[in-house]
Amino acid sequence: MSFYECLGVFPEGASSASRMALTAKGLGYQGIIICNRDPGRIFMLQAAEKIKGIEVVMGAEVTSSSCKALKSRISALRARYPFIMVRAGSEEIVRVASEDPNVDLLIHPCDFRRPLTIASARAAKLNQICLGFDLSGLVRLRGSSRSRWLGALRRNLQLVRKFEIHPIITASATSHLDLHSPRDLVAMAEVAGFERDEAKEALRRPGMLLELNRRKWVGPGVELL
């Protein structure tokens, strides 16, 4: 199975890219996508890329305090990296990211106070943007906080199914100790409300996106061979 995980590495995370790659390889991943906010500052990336048996891909996580700056940052990074991720923290960021076809993955916070709207879900479908589900809340949260988080996640999942958006699941690991095997991540997704085949497809989706993005497109639906 071609399972990929999206993660952060040192200096924004606790573990180096090579440590993450070695651990992910041992857990059964075919590849990892490094999504740091500053992808130009990765510690010893070459060492990670030399590890055999796992693909190490440089992506980018886009963050910004304003919607205008976010769009500018996405546009600037799109030409340099094959995978662009936006981790939304507000309704405005969700709206802007869901309307930008340069975004590959939009991770929604699954906050019951700020649910994914029908308009944003429809825009994500129109622009072929995948919706990400960060399952680390299943480990970090407890009690009523976890219940509210699960409720918000399941509501988002209903919209994903309704509008036929492609989901992606991740543990958002920033340390090799936070990585979970594909089997464990699929089991966590099932607890959250995913079907097993749906969860496995969500783990394969990043690799599919990379394959599409590496092809040369001269226009919507027009590929340069």
SS3 (DSSP) at 112: coil
Query: What is the arithmetic mean of pLDDT over 138-160?
Result: 92
- Token match 């994914």: residue? 116
Is 88:108 a contact under the CB 8 Å cutoff? yes
Q: Which 3 state secondary structure label does DSSP give 96?
A: helix
Q: Which position has the higher pLDDT, 219 or 17?
A: 17
Distance, CA of 167 to CA of 208 (rounded, Å): 12
- Interval 139-143 mean pLDDT: 90
Q: What's residue 174's pLDDT?
A: 95
Q: Which two tokens stand for residue 180?
A: 């979970």
Is the pTM higher than 0.85? The answer reads: yes
- Domain 4-223 grouped into CATH 3.20.20.140: yes
84-87 and 60-62 strand pairing? parallel
Which stretches of the chain are assigned E, i.e. beta strand? 4-7, 31-34, 55-58, 60-62, 84-87, 105-107, 130-134, 167-170, 217-219, 222-223
Q: Report the chain's C-alpha Rg in angstroms.
A: 17
pLDDT confidence bin for 53, thresholds 50/70/90: very high
Amino acid, single-letter form, for residue 178 = D
What pLDDT shows up at residue 4?
A: 97
Q: What percent of the chain has pLDDT over 70?
A: 95
- Average pLDDT of 59-64? 90
Kindly tell me the sign of the dihedral angle through the C-alpha atoms of 195, 22, 33, 39. Answer: positive
Residue with tokens 């226009």: 219
Q: Which helix (H) or strand (E) holds 148?
A: helix 143-162
Instruction: Give the model's pLDDT for residue 179.
Output: 97
Q: What is the pLDDT of residue 44?
A: 84
Contacts of 123 (CB under 8 A, 6+ apart): 95, 98, 99, 129
